[in-house]
Structure 1
Amino acid sequence: MPRISKLLAGLAAACLSLLLLVPAALAVAPQDFPVVAPEVPVLDAADVLSRASRSELSARLDQLDEQRLDARLVTVRRLDYGLSLPAFGEDLIAQWSSQGSSDPILLFLIEAQNKQAAVVADPSLSQRLPAELLRSTGRTTMSQPLRDGDRYRQASLDGIERLAVVLDGGEDPGPPVEVERTTLPTNIPSKEETQSSNAFTWVVVLLVVGTIVPMATWWVFSR
């Protein structure tokens, strides 16, 4: 029995250790990624894109490479505690650039857990892609589809297309227009209206009963 108890205690401790390690394993930092930039431009570490979406986005990113830059998309499930998405992107660019990436890197980043996005670029691209443009693209253009229903493919495409216009010499199309949702008028009563109507009905019924019953009683006994 003591041997079995020790075995069960050991298994319980092992299970607890695994449970404690799972959250840490899901969080990532730049050092968790390959030292050299992968050959494919889409690195879907969060596994939020279908195979078709990855192929579509890879083709679109390859078109941006014609602008003499190395455009990439990286998704993560969640980041290490205290690490922001822009800081993660800057560290990843520094890591990959130090390993011989010939063209300046442009990163489109998505964190799935908090539904946030960011765009980070090599400092040499600051004249063509100002910091404010990158910040707006991440916070508005890409983040809105994420908040509106986990639309990771659409968020990525919208961010890529906005910067592609600017890189081609066009005017920044700006952030997406927020659609204000209005409630259409309806004849269906609300819960409060229904409760008020029911209360009024009971008052009328009680008044009628309180009037008719005494009159009926007087009529019966007066005959």
Structure 2
Amino acid sequence: MNRLTQLTGGIFAAILCVLFCTPIALAVSPQDFPPQPPDELVLDSAEVLSRSGRNEISSRLGELDRFHVDARLVTLRRLDYGLSLPAFGEELLGRWSSSTADSNKPLLLFLEESQSKQATVVASPALLEQLPESLLRSTGRTTMSQPLRDGDRFRQATLDGITRLEVVLDGGEDPGPPVQVERVALPTNVPTAEQTEESNAFTWVVVLLVVGTIVPMATWWIFSR
């Protein structure tokens, strides 16, 4: 009996752990990450990238080294309650910057959250003159977030963000956010509800006019004979 009670209690505890502990484990904060940047340039904790995608993004991030920039990508599943993605990025940036104080390379972090399909970009203060906060904010909210909302294209979102900032780092003008494609409805021969109602009303008017004309004439013709 005691063994059955222990087994039942163990199963009940496991169920509670699955129900309540798993969502907490999925939510992350900067303290859940290593105190210093890992060797990999892509930290795909949300597991939204394929191996080839990670390799391609890692290669593109590595190309920014020619500008003396330590660029990295971090993907997340879900943030801790009350923590925004920009706030998370700033905290992680401060955490990693303090551990690499002896390095002469400023950090440039691309961050993406899979649950809310949003992105943000943060940079060390040494980069803000060349990459102002308005540019970083626009890159995250428009250039990167649009592919995320349009089919969970995390690879494309990252590459688009890197490309935009790379142009500015290379001395070029900001290419700006992506062009918003306006969806135009194609013409159709199918009548709308309003058109149908108008058509039915016109038909009834014609029918009533015909009836109102023919019935009196037919009545007069019958009784006049």
Range into which the TM-score falls when normalised by the shorter chain: 0.7 to 0.9
Deviation at 1:118, TM superposition (A): 0.1
CA separation in 1, counterparts of 2:134 and 2:122? Answer: 11
Summarize the alignment of residues 149-188 of structure 1 with structure 2, pairs less than 5 Å apart: 149-188=151-190
Amino acid aligned to 1:33: F
Deviation at 1:7, TM superposition (A): 3.5
Structure 1 equivalent of residue 221 of structure 2: none
Structure 2 equivalent of residue 104 of structure 1: 106
What secondary structure does 2:158 align onto? helix
Structure 1 equivalent of residue 131 of structure 2: 129
Provide Cα deviations, 1:159-212, integer angstroms capped at 9, x if missing partner.
0000000000000001111010011012245678789989999xxxxxxxxxxx
Summarize the alignment of residues 69-88 of structure 1 with structure 2, pairs less than 5 Å apart: 69-88=69-88
Structure 1 equivalent of residue 213 of structure 2: none
What secondary structure does 1:98 align onto? helix
CA separation in 1, counterparts of 2:36 and 2:114? Answer: 24
In the alignment, structure 1 segments of 5+ residues that lack a partner are: 202-223
Provide Cα deviations, 1:20-68, integer angstroms capped at 9, x if missing partner.
0010000011111112211111111100011111111111000111111
Summarize the alignment of residues 1-223 of structure 1 with structure 2, pairs less than 5 Å apart: 4-5=4-5, 7-100=7-100, 102=103, 103-189=105-191
Provide Cα deviations, 1:87-139, integer angstroms capped at 9, x if missing partner.
11111111112222611100000000000000000111110100000000000
Amino acid aligned to 1:95: R
Deviation at 1:18, TM superposition (A): 2.6
Structure 1 equivalent of residue 212 of structure 2: none
In the alignment, structure 2 segments of 5+ residues that lack a partner are: 204-225
- Aligned in 2, Cα 1:190/1:4: closer, same or farther, shift over 3 Å? farther
CA separation in 1, counterparts of 2:6 and 2:40? Answer: 50
Amino acid aligned to 1:116: Q
What secondary structure does 2:148 align onto? helix
Q: What's the RMSD between the two structures over aligned residues? A: 3.3
CA separation in 1, counterparts of 2:195 and 2:45? Answer: 51
CA separation in 1, counterparts of 2:131 and 2:167? Answer: 11
Return the TM-score normalized by structure 2.
0.82
Identity %: 66
Amino acid aligned to 1:96: W
Deviation at 1:19, TM superposition (A): 1.4
